[in-house]
Amino acid sequence: MGSYKEIVRDLHRKSSKEKKEILQRFFKTGKGEYGEGDQFLGIVVPDQRKIAQHHAATTDKKTIIELLDSVYHEERLTGLFILCNKFNSDRKKGNEKQWVDLYLKKADRVNNWDLVDSSAHIILGQWLEDKDRKILYALAKDNSLWKNRIAVVATWHFIRKQHDLRDIIELSKIMIDHPHDLMHKATGWMLREGWKKDARQIETFLNQFASRMPRTMLRYAIERMKEQKRKSYLNNR
């Protein structure tokens, strides 16, 4: 069985002091930075995915919660990989809601950008595909940076699978005034993904709001456009 002790044992076998120091700098864990206090074991993501895949079938909800509650970043991410696996498996049986409920209950533990980006579109995005999406707007207006990011990244599923840009456009209007650069990047990223599916809709939005958008958000949104069009948006800010 994929017990917490067994999963942690396998993770620690892959840890590296050198990688730990690199990751703690990369994820801004210093005082006053967005990842302040986060702790790392020094394990690369492919190893975490392999361990999650190995244990997923025999891991229960209690163990996932233990992983999500860990102080160690890699344990939380591995827990999310397992949670995504459980969600996808049970979705085929129509029994996935329990994993959505757990994800939302433990959303405060999805507390760095890679944790969000590895899970929000898979769990919340897929779940909301054919449902009321008001939860996205509650998350977008929450005081938590990471819940804000969950809301935006969840739309990646609608964009990719349904070419549905309604929510990313509405959420982008909210995020224009967000104070954090990580939300500017995430929102611009999703707008760029939306532009790939329906350039007209995104350019209509940009024509109205580009002058108000944070420069980082705009740069991410227009990244794949031709140079002349990119310059036009940047020069008209």
Interatomic CA distance for residues 226 and 118, integer angstroms: 29
Interatomic CA distance for residues 83 and 68, integer angstroms: 10
* Residue with the two structure tokens 């891991």: 59
pLDDT in tens, 37-51: 999 999 999 999 999
**Quick count: other Cβ atoms within 10 Å of Cβ 215?**
11
pLDDT of the residue at 2:
78
Beta partners for residue 39, in sequence order: 72
The conformation of residue 39, written as its DSSP 8-state character, comes to B
Interatomic CA distance for residues 118 and 78, integer angstroms: 10
Residue 10 near residue 51, CB atoms below 8 Å: yes
Of the CATH numbers 1.25.10.90, 3.30.200.210, 3.30.420.40, 1.20.120.140, which one belongs to the domain with range 1-112? Answer: 1.25.10.90
Interatomic CA distance for residues 66 and 69, integer angstroms: 5
Q: How is residue 20 written in tokens?
A: 């730990």
pTM above 0.85, yes or no: yes
- The Cβ-side half-sphere exposure at 216, using a 13 Å CA radius, reads 13
Interatomic CA distance for residues 98 and 218, integer angstroms: 37
pLDDT of the residue at 53:
97
pLDDT of the residue at 236:
79
pLDDT of the residue at 98:
97
Helix axes 145-157, 181-197, angle to 10 degrees: 10
pLDDT of the residue at 226:
96
pLDDT tens per residue, the chain (237 residues)?
679 999 999 999 999 999 999 999 999 999 999 999 999 999 999 999 999 999 999 999 999 999 999 999 999 999 999 999 999 999 999 999 999 999 999 999 999 999 999 999 999 999 999 999 999 999 999 999 999 999 999 999 999 999 999 999 999 999 999 999 999 999 999 999 999 999 999 999 999 999 999 999 999 999 999 999 999 999 877
